[in-house]
Structures are given as structure tokens and as C-alpha cells.
Structure 1
């Protein structure tokens, strides 16, 4: 990479673009892990409840996705609320920060689980079920990091949340 085309005439440029590269990636990974935690809790609960109740794949996945969004948002709302904003405002911040990343994560995650033959049918006592879920979350993580990195780079997504930490 050549540095010749950088803005030598603008000393403030470096300061404003300090949140690039490694920092941006670290923030994206942190935001994605945050989202993954909420998604994983909801996903596991949903799949466990749906499977335990003998629901269809569609109903089970729908429950898992609903709970994943719920816990994903809840984990973002908690620290934002503690900074003193109203619940409504915290909710709006969480929606803005997490909707895209949770959506990407859930699509990838559930598509993978449904794509593995017999994974949904394997049941909760089966290693295939849990291995598939773990792999699905790992793959979803890899897909979601660039989404969050792009959002944060544009001052969106979890960049919004960081104002309240």
C-alpha cells in the first residue's frame, strides 16, 4: 500500500480516521460477539423448547429467531439504559444497532441448520444437533463481522451504542 496519496496537507485527517483498520475490526468483532451471545441464547432456547415440545421445524426456527432477536436487543438495551436514556430511546438505539446484524446472523445460522440433513430431527440428546448449532453460529459469526464492520465504519450499528457506554 502506497502512502503517497494520503492527505499530508490535513493534519486533522489522521485523527478523524483513527477508527480504521484494526480498531474497526476489533469493534466489529466485539459487536458481533455481543450479537452472537444474544442470538445464541435465543437460538438455543428456541430450538430446545421447540424440539422438546415436538414442534415442526418451521415453528421451532420461528421461535428460535424470535428469541434470538429478543435477547440480541436485550443485551444491547441493558448497557444503554444504564447510561440514563429512556427505555423507548434505548429500544430505538438497539433496533438501529442490531437489526441488520441479527438478521444476517439468523438467516445464515438457520439456513445452515436446516441444510444439514437430520440435524433438526436429531433431537437434543444428539451430538449432531449441538455440533450443527455450534457450526451454524460460527459460520453466522464469520458472515456478520463484515456487516458490523461496514456499519460501524459508517458510524452506524454499534458505533451508535458506543456513545452511551
Structure 2
């Protein structure tokens, strides 16, 4: 499955629809190219998953032991407000108002390919979430991958 990547400046239309950037749309698996899943991110953003990846991910969450309080709480929050949406012929999709409010998106948005998912951010919040110092990013990469650089 191709990975999502890149940053795209987008605008919502008056009806709250967003056009999925062509390169993001092209990376959707063919079996789920017309339906996507939107959910709240851990940060104040909206996460977009392909339907195929969403099904795999949700199966893992469903498999958690519901008799463990932390798992129940996680499941409840993970599944709350998720929405399957259809892409129209122009690649547009309607973003639910509750999700726009959660991510503080009014008109302008940044659509970011993030590997297995796409993140939709309010531009200022996105900038604030990024590592601004290249040395700090380098040190983070060293911690994540180790000194040997094993990927």
C-alpha cells in the first residue's frame, strides 16, 4: 500500500467540503478509493484513513479486553465520532461540523500525508505541533532509530 506524504494547503467550501489533494487520492487503495474514514486525532486535528486501513486498525482496537478499564476507555474514545464519508466525482468530501470544531478549522486547512494516515490541521496549530529546530529534530531521530540508524 502506498504511503501518504506531502503537505497541501486547502480551503473548505461554504458547505464544509474539502477537496482531497490529487496525490493523496491517488495513494488510496483501489478497494477503498471512494470511501474514507474520518476520526479525531490525538492532537487537535482530524485523521483520515483509507477504509481498508481503518478496518485493520479498528479490528485491533475491538480485540482489546473490554474487562480492562483502560482498554474500555480507549475503545470508547477511539470510536467516538468516527464517520465514513464518500468522495464525490471531484474528490470532495463533507467534513462533519463537530470535527471541524474539534480541530478549530474554519476555512483554511493543511492536509498532511503521514504514512498510513492523513492529518487535517488548522494551519497555526499545525505549525505549533512541528519541531522548529533542525538540531532538535536530528536528536529526536537519533532517539527513535538509535545511534546505528536502524530503520
TM-score bracket for the superposition, by shorter chain length:
under 0.3
Normalised by the length of structure 2, the TM-score is 0.25
Normalised by the length of structure 1, the TM-score is 0.23
Q: Which structure is richer in relative contact order (CA contacts within 8 A, separation 6 or more)? A: 2
Higher-strand-fraction structure: 2
Compare CA radii of gyration and give the structure with the larger one: 1
Higher-helix-fraction structure: 1
